[in-house]
Structure formats: structure tokens, C-alpha cells
A = this chain, B = another copy of it.
Amino acid sequence: MSCSDVVERRLRAVGLRVTAQRLAVGEALLHAADHRTAEEVQARLQVESAQPVSLATVYRTLHTLVEHRVVGHLDRGRGSAVYEWLDPQHPHHHALCVDCGVEVEIAPRLLERFGRAVMAESRFTPFLDHLALVGRCAACEAQTRSG
């Protein structure tokens, strides 16, 4: 199954019309190892794709895809927001150390348990497949305590 097929299936799965622009934007994010800003997505399409997409459409497409949880959206408050393809089969999260910047893996089990508890007690369904946690890794935390 090609990358294009992956995107197309995902679009249909959430009930969205399949357009050349949405496929292009989706593939740009699917191919990206890291996250991309809207402008980076568009720039990539200018170079690598036969389908140039206007920036307005990139924004509209990203917004739509985020709404349908096909892509994740992260706004760290500085400059542009970033987006990334979400794989329902492999949920992930961002646990970023404020001191050294390392990304730490968090056991999905913990997130699931937390999510269920929140749903049960707070009448809110958190999207934990793309949670952005900030904190300290073990090494930096130890250093903070000793120092």
C-alpha cells in the first residue's frame, strides 16, 4: 500500500472528501519524521510534489485534518504552530525535558489509564495520542535536586 493510499484511506475513514490537495498535505506530513509548520508543508509541496497548494488551503486542510484527528497540532506559543501525521495504531506523545531537551518515552498504559479516569470522572475525553508533556528527565531531575 503506497503512502498515497494510506492518506486516502484515512480521509475516507473519517468521512472527508479526497482531493489532490489533501492527499498532498497528508503525504507531506506522513513522510516527515518530525513535525512541520504550515509553511514548511507548503514549501515541501512546491519542491517534491506535482501538486502545489496555496497556503490558505494548507491552513484550511490542516485545520480540517486536526478536527478529524488525522493530524496532530502543537502550538508551543513561539512562532508558528506545528503539525504531524497521527498514526492511530501507534499513538505517541511528547514528553520534553525543559533542561536538556531530550524526548522521553512514556508507557502508553499510563496514558490510557489516565484517559479513562478523566473520562469517567470529569466528563471530558482527552486526546492523549498526541499529548505534549513538559517536565524533567531523570538525569536532569537528579541534578536539580543535588545541585
A interface residues, Cβ below 8 angstroms from B: 66-67, 73, 75-77, 81, 95, 97-99, 104-107, 110, 113-114, 117-118, 121-127, 130-138, 141
Contact = CB atoms under 8 A, between A and B. Distances in A.
**SS of A interface (majority):** mixed
A61 B114 CA distance: 34
Given A77-B75, A77-B81, A95 B110 contact: no
A128 to B, nearest CB: 8
A134 B127 contact: yes
Given A125-B141, A130-B134, 15 more contacts: A66-B98, A67-B99, A73-B77, A77-B81, A106-B122, A110-B114, A110-B117, A113-B117, A123-B138, A125-B135, A125-B136, A125-B137, A126-B133, A127-B133, A127-B135
Given A106-B118, A110-B118, A118-B110, A134 B126 contact: yes
A134 B74 CA distance: 10
A104 B75 contact: no
A124 B106 contact: yes
Contacts of A121: 107, 110
A110 B81 contact: no
A36 B97 CA distance: 23
B134 A95 contact: no
Contacts of A95: 118, 122, 124, 126
